[in-house]
Amino acid sequence: MTDSAPDGRTLEKRRRIVQAAWRVVRLHGLRGTTMEALAREAGVAKGTLYAQFPDKDAVIGAVIDDMLIELGTAFADGMAGEGSAAERVGAALAGKYGVVARALEGSPHADEVFDAHHRFAQRFEALERKTESEVGAALAAAGAAEPTLLARVVVGAANGVARQMAGAEAVERAIRLVCRRLIEPEIRA
């Protein structure tokens, strides 16, 4: 038997399951999410769910993998934009954390979901390294004296803002402000 690519129906079922999983997690939290609830929300039989994913962590991992693509795209779009280093970094980080804020907006389980990323830290590591590296490169190109350290501070501050503030619009506005306040003096100095 040879391995073959999944057909369109299989991919559609997977997409429905992943979208349903995000809805269930937002409503019930990670601890309250069950395979039964996931199957019911996705409109598939439990057997179909288990054929796609061996357990709840695998489903949540697929949700995270999809979100990582969105986060990476939002960050890249901001970095590719116009403006000063502070404006581009601000747009990139606001875009990245805005994706998270919008996804969790209105969920009574936002803190649980945000804190659970440690369970899946390995999935986030590459994006976090790339984020810091690209911010550091932009800061170095703009003339910052300690671009690597400043990049770590700016990214850490953006993460803190995203964890502490509610609402995507407020998160994005605050991250842009933090980036201007931290980066502009270092570039002008």
Q: Which residue, 71, 183, 189, 72, is CA-closest to 138?
A: 183
**Residue at 30 is within a domain:** yes
For each successive 10 residues of the chain (189 residues), what is the average pLDDT? 66 91 91 93 94 93 91 97 97 96 86 75 87 98 97 97 92 98 90
**Residue at 2 is within a domain:** no
What is the pTM assigned to this prediction?
A: 0.87
Q: In the prediction, which pLDDT does 2 show?
A: 47
Q: In the prediction, which pLDDT does 5 show?
A: 59
Give buried/exposed letters for 44-53 (b at 16+ CB in 10 A, else e).
beeebbeebb
User: 136: which 2 tokens?
Assistant: 């550091």
Side chain identity at 48, as an amino acid letter? T
Q: In the prediction, which pLDDT does 1 show?
A: 45
Q: Which residue, 105, 103, 106, 81, is CA-closest to 91?
A: 81
For residue 180, what is the domain's CATH number? Answer: 1.10.357.10
**Residue at 19 is within a domain:** yes
Half-sphere exposure for 79 (CA within 13 Å, toward CB): 19
Which residue matches tokens 């179909």? 48
- Whether residue 118 contacts residue 139, with contact meaning beta carbons closer than 8 Å, is answered with no
Q: How many domains are there within the chain?
A: 1
Side chain identity at 154, as an amino acid letter? V
**Cα-based torsion angle of the residue sequence 177, 181, 184, 188 in order, rounded to the nearest 10 degrees:** 160
Cβ neighbours of residue 32 closer than 8 Å, sequence gap 6 or more: 109
Stated as kind and residue range, the H or E segment containing 141 is helix 121-142
- Domain range for 71 is 8-188
CA end-to-end span of the chain: 65
CA atoms of 132 and 174, how far apart (whole Å)? 19
- Whether residue 6 contacts residue 62, with contact meaning beta carbons closer than 8 Å, is answered with no
**Residue at 26 is within a domain:** yes
- Whether residue 99 contacts residue 44, with contact meaning beta carbons closer than 8 Å, is answered with no
**Residue at 77 is within a domain:** yes
